Every structure is written in C-alpha cells, then in structure tokens.
Chains A and B, each alone.
Chain A
C-alpha cells in the first residue's frame, strides 16, 4: 500500500564531475565529485572539515542558491533532474535544532513542508500524524516548539521533512548539538523511518560510531577534491590506509582515540568553595539548582556532567563569578582572592580576568575586535602594570602555543570552527587566570582539535591551574582525570569514579 508506493519512490543520485564554488571564495567548496547512489541505499558521508560534505548535501537538497551565490560545474541530479527543480523529493535535516524550526507549534511545524507543496488540507493532517508517529514524538499538536528538548527538536525536524514524503533523506550532522541521550533518540528514529519508507539516505557526521551500523555504504571525500574511499563500512573503516587518512583528517572513527598524554592530577591549594549554593539564570528567574557543595583546588579539574537543561551551565557561570549566587555561600580562598574580596561576582572585570577565565560554548560570543591579534592583546592590555614588552611576549607565546601565529591578521569571525575554539581559549589564557571554566569545550569539534584541547588543558592543570568543564564528553574528563559532579533533577551530586 502506501508503504509500498513510497518504497518505489526512493530517489537515485548521480553526480558527474560536480564542483561548487561559493561566490567570493577562490577555491571550490567541493570539487570533481563522481558518485552514483542507488534508490534505497544508506550512505555515510565522511571527510576532513573543508572537504565539502555539507556543500554536497545542500546541493542535493537544491538549496545552494542562484548564480549570484556560487558557480557550478558538472552535473548533480536526483532521478535525472536538477535538485532545485524537484525540491521536496529530498528532505534535509540540519545540525542546529533551534534554527531549522520555522513555526511556533509542533503540528504547524510538521505541516509547513506539505503546505508548501500545496497538499490538500485534509491530507496534510493525516501526514502530520503519520510523521510524528514515525519519529515517535508523542506530544500534543499545539505544544510549543520552543519547549522541546534538543533530541525532540531534531526528531520534530525529521518529522517535518517526512511530511513531504521525500524519497531521499539528507542529514547534516543531526546529532552534533545533542547530549548522549538525544543522539540515540534521533538515531533510532531515523532507523525506524528508513525501515518504513525505504527512502535513500545520506548522512554527514563527525562521530562515525553513531551511524556505522545503520548505513550500508561509506563515502569519504578527499580534502583536495574527488572521492577518497567508497564501499561498505566494514571495508572502508577497517582499511588501514583509509583509517590513517581519516584520523589525520580529524574524523572520529570507531576504535581509534586520538593520542593524549596521561595525567594524574595532584590537587594543591584550595581556591574556591561553594557551600549550600543555589543558582539561577536571571535575577527573578527560577532557581535551577540548590544546595551545591563543591571545592576547586589548584592543579585539578572538575567535570560538571548530566543531561541538558539541568542547570550545568548556570552552575558553571556562577562559579565563574559571572552570575550572582541566589543563595548559599561562594567564597574565594585567599590564594585566589589576593585582596579582591571573597565574592567573585563582586570583582571588577580587570580583577576577574586574572583570576577566573570563562570559555563559552559559542566562541563568537566572546569576540570583541576585528583582528585575531587584537583579541589576544585585549585582556593583557587592560591589566594594571601592563607594558608593551610584556604584552607582546605574552601574546606571542600564546599564539605560538595555540597555533594562531599565521592567523594574527585575520578577522576572528572568518576562522574555521577549530580555530575559533583555539582562539577563544587563547584569549582567556592571555590574562593567566587561576581557574578556567569551559562550557562544552569539545562540542562539535573534530578529533584533531579535541586532542589539541586535551593536551593543552592537561598542561594547564600540571602547571597548577584549576579547570571546570561542563561537558558530556566522557573521554575528555577521563583524559584529564577530572572529578565529576553530576547535575540532574535540580541536585548536584559528586560522582565516584568507576
């Protein structure tokens, strides 16, 4: 029946010598792709950052834009037609849950695509119910889309695409922004949908392990154009040559962890102590976490873990002196306060940056200037007793250490994701704080940036620094020998290492 028809409608993909160059860029984003995908195939698309995976996916969805936005060579077709002409045959799910939802309510959101295809009203609601059922999202149709969790939002995005009954499902890093539970939620929903509809499937993702068992084909794009490897997962992912190249490109492959130095922390002086601390995001907003006891010492690290939405970030920002504690006590020890008073939230900016640095999840939130070098110099220059020579020396050594030296004149916003992350850490280290607080430092990073970060943080801890990281990344906290504080159900409980 309907299921049968949909299976028949699975889309075939053909790329012949296909390249795309974004307007204003010198190099093509993707080059010389030759690829044929049969109807119903399930493909995992891999490659280094900058190899054009996302561009290819957007090309398949027909959303790369017009002549003004780029230049195309070769051909790319779905069932023999250019994707832009058969929009709706391919359904695209993107990375960021918050910026692919269009409307305010769940039902309307799922209906949106079908409305655009001029599907009759009665049929739209049938499709909406079917799609929500397919992705296992059991919420009222008038539920606010803002009120959903990350995993639910991504399943909603999937349902919204399914309501268009596409023959090709395209997923662009659909789980990169989710907590581990969310990742599984989305993966399982996709598998269910594919089994039911038989649609052709192409997914781009850094973390191979999530999808390796779901797909029947892995395609690796080369950084300098063309296809590097293509075949069943068990062949491609076990070939030592391909593995080496994937690892070099920063792709997370199963059974391979980037090399990092081991670390046995040796806690030193106490720096900051919270007793019965309760935290809230805003002055009048609700208390998200209560009765928190935690100590930070020099030469050690603390991982704040737990599901999203539990108040991990709020706690970290409070410890960082950026949010006022709602209740309880948060006191800096003399070794940290150094005459600035015991309450971090009461410190002046110039006092704060030499004591506690905070690296936010989105690096761009912390960029203040238009050149990388100005970013690095910004902190040191505002300190009391800063002279030109010290500032220069400090900035040079940090730029060197974080491999930013060749980028000093660039605009911070134009850097790659990994470079932005390194810069945001560098700007904090520039004022040499005793405590460094990081919010999801490894989210969405490739394996190379990850290894670099871990090495740098280990070095910092060994040098007597204290680290607080809000993270889901177990490998990260293990590599740093972090104590763990688990935040869930408005409680924070220390976790004993397994």
Chain B
C-alpha cells in the first residue's frame, strides 16, 4: 500500500462540498460536548445522531467497520478498564480474585465506552469528506492562520506516503544487514529505535531539499495570493446548524435526565 493521504477518495455527495471550516466547527463542537461530561445519556444521544447521519458518508456499514474497528476495540478496552478501576459501589456483579465488578463500576465503564465511540466518529466524518488541501486553504484564508506554517505542514504531510514506503524499505535494508525480525524484546526495541533514527535522518535530508525548492519558488518572502479561493455557501450554514443541534440536544437530554456530570466537577 502506498499511502496518499493528501488526495483521499472522498466519500458521500454532500459533505465534500461544504467548507472544511464548517465541518471542523461542527465536529469540534460535538466532540467538546461529549468530552465535557461523562454520562451515558449525552454520549448515547451524540452517538445515535452520528449513526443517523452515517448515510451521508455514502459508504456501507461493512466498509465503515473495516475502517473503524480499532476504534470499537479501543472503546471496549477503555470501558473495561474503567469498570475494573472505578470506585466499587453498588451491587457486586462479579468477583474473581482481585477482579471486582460492581453495578456502578460497570455503568461507568459503559458510559466511557459509548463516549469513546461518540468522540471518535466526528473525526471519521471530517477525514472521509475533507480534502486536506481545502482545509489548509480554509485555515489560511478564512481563519487567517499564518500561511507559512499551514503550507509547511501541508508540504510535510505530502511526504507521509513517501516516508511510510521508506520505513518499509528501511526494514528490508536493515534485515539484509542482519538485523530485525527476530530476537528478544530488547533487541527488537533497539532495532525499532535504530530504524526510527534512520527514518528521521532521511526525513531531514528530504526536508532540507524541499525547503530549498520552496524558497527558490519564492515561498516565505511575504504576502501571497491564492489560486483557489476558499468560500462559504448556504450548505455551510446547515452543517453548522446540525452540529449545534446535536450538541444542544445532547446537553439538554443529559441535564433533564440528571446524568450531566461536568468533567472538572468530577473529583
């Protein structure tokens, strides 16, 4: 696989046409609301809304699962971990040696698991429907972020695929020298670090050449124009509204249900 992260196959029909900033706004807003409270009601409302919006992505459930299974696994692990380590109050559900699950600790675990999924999905929405170059254009033109850094980051990101390939080549090249693929964990860790070092060396060499090429093309000298204009349309209003609606519903539902549990008040 050669990774080309900057020209992804965008999915869906509607969302790719929205300005990346409005999608970013909606995604951040929803994420923040879920993060602010650990309760199963707000998490479930957000997760439910996200699942309802999934058809917008235009990919099948199976494809989605293939892309996101690590998320699901991570949510399960996080939920389990919390159930194991939370305050053990409520009825005992399972006791096995030092392992103790109670009603309350399991509830906490479920809330954490749901919340993990609800937090992760906005990222998927954004990633699968947004062209990173458009995002950079929007960040620099609309949000007025310093263009040298935005474009520098974008140029760096173009090298992701190249560096992934290079990582693989490094592994083979080092194997040919007689290291890697075998040995005890310490030897493996050493090899991993050595390979990482090799990658960083190549990365800096490439970066230095890239910097020369960019400077030779007048980059970083001062103001610039933009060949592609980042624009807002009515669609962006809708995207923002949906974000606000989901966030608002989640908070309202949790407060009404009495489960809202502001993060910084937790302890």
- Which A residues are closer than 8 A to B by beta carbons? 58, 61-63, 87-88, 90-92, 94, 96, 98-105, 107-108, 111-121, 124-125, 128, 144-147, 157, 160-161, 164, 281-282, 284-285, 317, 320, 322-323, 348-350, 352-353, 357-358, 360, 362, 364-368, 378-379, 382, 413, 427-428, 431
Contacts and interface: CB of A to CB of B under 8 A. Distances in A.
Given A98-B206, A144-B4, A358-B172, 4 more contacts: A94-B213, A157-B213, A350-B178, A379-B177
A44 to B, nearest CB: 20
A147 B9 CA distance: 14
A105 B176 contact: no
A206 to B, nearest CB: 18
B226 A99 contact: no
B219 A121 contact: no
Contacts of A360: 169, 172-173, 176
13 contacts: A58-B212, A62-B216, A91-B216, A102-B217, A104-B132, A116-B221, A120-B225, A146-B162, A147-B4, A352-B176, A360-B176, A365-B173, A368-B174
A102 B133 contact: no
A116 B210 CA distance: 16
B133 A105 contact: yes
B133 A103 contact: yes
A61 B155 contact: no
B209 A96 contact: yes
Specify which of B132, B178, B219, B229 lies most central, judged by the most chain A CB atoms within 10 Å of its CB: B178
Given A146-B161, A284-B1, A379-B177, A87 B221 contact: yes
A102 B225 contact: no
A320 B169 CA distance: 14
B179 A349 contact: yes
A104 B217 contact: no
Contacts of A281: 168
Given A99-B213, A103-B155, A365 B198 contact: yes
B228 interface: yes
B225 A121 contact: yes
A431 B176 CA distance: 11
Contacts of B181: 349
Interface string B196-230: 00100110001101101111111111111111110
A124 B225 CA distance: 9
Contacts of A111: 227
Contacts, number: 178
Nearest to B155: A102
A118 B225 contact: yes
Contact of B216 (A87, A107, A120, A125): A87
A231 to B, nearest CB: 29
B225 A353 contact: no
Contacts of A284: 1
B158 interface: yes
B227 to A, nearest CB: 4
Contacts of A121: 225-227, 229
Q: Which 10 A-B pairs have the closest CB atoms?
A: A104-B6, A116-B218, A100-B213, A111-B227, A113-B217, A365-B173, A358-B176, A92-B216, A144-B7, A349-B178
Specify which of B166, B198, B207 lies most central, judged by the most chain A CB atoms within 10 Å of its CB: B198
Contacts of B2: 146
A102 B133 CA distance: 11
A62 B213 CA distance: 11
B213 A102 contact: yes
Contacts of A285: 1
B1 to A, nearest CB: 6
A160 B216 CA distance: 11
Nearest to A101: B158
